[in-house]
Every structure is written in structure tokens, then in C-alpha cells.
């Protein structure tokens, strides 16, 4: 599916293009058909990467240039609010006239770009500014995901570390195995988001380098002419620096959240061990409590002809009393020691 957008000259905001328009600033290809790819390649005079090529690009080769056209690939997270989040590559093609995005999944960050760009009052008047807007929207979405995950971790932490007053962990009935599964999901989502932010950071860093190169070439030209294909990078006006700071802050926040997830996992495993040790302790105490009565019953259950207590009228109640007393005394001892 292909959707074209152009920048409104009056507001510089994105609006859908209802028909082919030479002023299109952004073309979004979602699960493109071979016919759609061929049509756009003929329109722009370039060769778009296929899905297999996008997946097969090495991390070191996600950013490259061909004939002045920039090909930039980032991993973008989709379905962060679902039980099965998906991470797939998205390729951004920066030409002299427009930006093209090629994707085969539906990340929320790219599904409502015009609305989010309008809310951020982002400038989409040129291709590189449009590309920067796409980066800003994805980073903003990454921040939203991190905030939501932080709130969920707060709730999970209270569930783990704040038992009800006067009650043990077992009395609360917390399923620690289910808690471990939740922690694992948070850790996996946080790791994927970090990977996505790192790939976006590489793209923004490349754009910042383009801006610096353009300034150097403009200064070297002397006559104000910009022969290099990076001339449009001059219009970034420091947006790349601001965005890089935001990305760095989010990556640091995600790393801190990863440490928090690791701590919660270790604490939950520790509580699970305590739970299991408590169960084993109960069985151990029960074995010790019932051992003396079993010993007494075993002694008087022997079939010897000469056993003095067998003929005594008080033998039977004395044996019962000895078994009860031998069971109570160890129980009281353990109770006093605080082992129960």
C-alpha cells in the first residue's frame, strides 16, 4: 500500500496527497507490491531495497549512499502494548525531492505521523526536515513506551516487595512464576527498544554529519554556491543536536530500567527460593516432630515375650502419653526458636 503526503505551503504541516503530485514530500510504502515498487522506482529513478535485503543488511552497512541518495535503515518496534511485540527494519530513502519509507509491519509511531507532527509543530517543508520529523516522532513514541513500562514496573514492584501487613508471601498467594514471566517480558521489550533507539541514533548522527559537511563545503565554496548533494542539511538548524540529546537520555533511561528489571528478577528468584526453603523447612520440622512418637510406637510394637510394660495396667495410656508429649516438646522448642 502506498500513501503520499505533501507539506501544506501555508502551515508546513503534512496532508495526504490524493493524486500523484510533484510536491510530494513523503511516500510511505507499507507491504508494497512489486507493481508499487516498480512504479516508484521508475518515478524516482532509483532501486529500492527488497524485504530480504532490508533484513540482511549488516548493522555496519545500514547507512549508505548511492548517487547522492541516502539509504538509512532502522529497527522499529511495533505492538509494544501487545503480548507479542514485533521488531522489523524500516528503510528511509532520502532523495533530493522526497523521503520514502519502506516497511512491512505497522509500528504505531509511523501510523499517525501527520497528527503527531502537527502536535509537535514540526517543520516538514523539505525532505531532510521531513526525515528529521519522522525520527522525532519515533523517538517520542519510544519515550512514551519507556514511561508506560516504568509505570508497569512500579505496579509489579509493589506486588513483589510490599506484602500485606502481618502476612507472609505465601499468605498473599502471589504467583512468583507468573511474576518472573512478566519481568521477562518487560526485559525483552526494554532490550528491543534500546536496539531501536541505537539504530535511530545512528541515522540522526549521520544527518548531523551531513549538516557539518554541508557547512564546510559552503565555506569552502566562497561564492555561496553549494555543489554537494548535502546542501539541504543546512536547514536542520540544530534539530539533529537536540534530537541526539533526547535519544541519549532515553538510552540512558532504558539502561537504568534494564538494571531495575535485572534487580527485580534476582529479587523474585530470591523470594521463590525462600518460598521453597519454607516448604522444605515445614517438612523437616514435621519429620522431627513425629520421629519420637514413631520411635516409642516402634519399641512397643515389638513382639517379644518378656516386655515389662505389657502386663502393667498403665502401660497403654503411658505409651500414648509419651508419644503425645514427645511430639509436643519438639514443636514448642521450634516455636520458641522462631523456626516455625
pLDDT at position 228 is 44
**226/313 same-domain check:** no
Residue 311 sits in a domain of what CATH number?
1.20.58.340
**120/107 same-domain check:** yes
Q: Which of 163-172, 196-205, 251-260 has the lowest mean pLDDT?
A: 163-172
**216/149 same-domain check:** yes
The domain in which residue 100 lies consists of 2-275
Of residues 67 and 215, more confidence is placed in 67
pLDDT at position 165 is 41
> Would the pLDDT of 170 be above 50?
no
Answer with the one of 255, 275, 295 that is the final residue of a domain. 275
Model pTM? 0.76
**71/139 same-domain check:** yes
Question: What number is the average pLDDT over the span 181-207?
Answer: 90
Answer with the one of 275, 290, 318 that is the final residue of a domain. 275
> What distance lies between CA 171 and its chain's CA centroid?
32
**89/55 same-domain check:** yes
**151/50 same-domain check:** yes
**260/287 same-domain check:** no
**266/288 same-domain check:** no
> Would the pLDDT of 235 be above 70?
no
**287/145 same-domain check:** no
- How do residues 291-322 score in pLDDT, each as one tens digit? 888 888 888 777 777 777 777 777 788 888 88
pLDDT at position 142 is 92
Domains in the chain: how many in total? 2
- How do residues 97-156 score in pLDDT, each as one tens digit? 889 999 999 998 888 888 888 888 887 888 888 898 999 999 999 999 999 999 999 888
**158/65 same-domain check:** yes
> Would the pLDDT of 229 be above 70?
no
Closest to 111 (Cα-Cα) out of 72, 78, 86: 78
pLDDT at position 193 is 92
**254/310 same-domain check:** no
**159/292 same-domain check:** no
Answer with the one of 226, 255, 275 that is the final residue of a domain. 275
Residue found by looking up cell 543536536 in the block = 241
pLDDT at position 66 is 85
Amino acid at each position: 500500500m502506498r500513501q503520499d503526503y505533501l507539506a501544506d505551503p501555508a502551515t508546513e504541516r503534512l496532508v495526504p496527497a490524493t493524486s500523484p503530485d510533484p510536491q510530494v514530500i513523503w511516500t510511505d510504502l507499507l507491504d508494497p507490491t512489486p507493481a508499487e515498487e516498480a512504479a516508484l522506482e521508475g518515478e524516482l529513478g532509483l532501486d529500492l531495497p527488497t524485504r530480504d535485503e532490508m533484513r540482511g543488511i549488516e548493522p555496519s552497512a545500514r547507512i549508505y549512499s548511492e548517487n547522492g541518495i541516502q539509504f538509512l535503515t532502522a529497527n522499529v518496534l511495533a505492538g509494544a502494548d501487545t503480548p507479542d511485540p514485533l521488531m522489523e527494519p524500516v528503510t528511509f530513502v532520502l532523495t533530493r525531492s522526497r523521503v520514502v519509507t519502506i516497511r512491512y509491519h505497522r509500528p504505531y509511531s509511523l501510523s499517525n505521523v501527520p497528527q503527531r507532527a502537527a502536535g509537535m509543530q514540526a517543520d516538514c517543508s523539505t525532505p531532510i526536515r521531513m526525515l528529521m520529523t519522522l525520527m522525532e516522532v519515533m523517538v517520542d513514541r519510544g519515550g512514551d513506551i519507556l514511561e508506560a513500562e516504568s509505570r508497569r514496573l512500579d505496579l509489579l514492584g509493589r506486588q513483589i516487595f510490599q506484602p500485606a501487613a502481618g502476612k507472609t508471601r505465601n499468605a498473599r498467594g502471589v504467583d512468583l512464576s507468573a511474576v518472573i514471566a512478566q519481568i521477562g517480558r518487560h526485559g525483552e521489550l526494554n532490550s528491543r527498544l534500546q536496539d531501536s533507539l541505537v539504530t535511530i541514533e545512528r541515522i540522526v548522527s549521520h544527518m548531523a554529519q551531513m549538516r557539518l559537511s554541508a557547512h564546510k563545503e559552503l565555506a569552502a565554496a566562497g561564492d555561496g554556491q553549494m555543489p554537494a548533494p548535502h546542501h539541504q542539511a543546512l536547514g536542520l538548524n540544530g534539530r539533529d543536536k537536540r534530537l541526539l540529546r533526547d535519544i541519549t537520555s532515553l538510552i540512558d533511561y532504558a539502561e537504568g530500567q534494564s538494571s531495575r528489571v535485572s534487580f527485580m528478577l534476582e529479587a523474585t528468584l530470591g523470594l521463590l527460593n525462600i518460598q521453597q526453603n519454607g516448604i522444605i523447612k515445614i517438612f523437616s520440622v514435621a519429620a522431627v516432630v513425629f520421629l519420637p512418637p514413631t520411635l516409642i510406637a516402634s519399641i512397643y510394637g515389638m513382639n517379644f515375650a518378656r516386655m515389662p510394660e505389657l502386663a502393667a495396667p498403665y502401660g497403654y495410656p503411658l505409651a500414648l502419653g509419651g508419644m503425645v508429649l514427645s511430639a509436643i516438646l519438639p514443636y514448642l522448642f521450634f516455636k520458641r526458636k522462631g523456626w516455625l
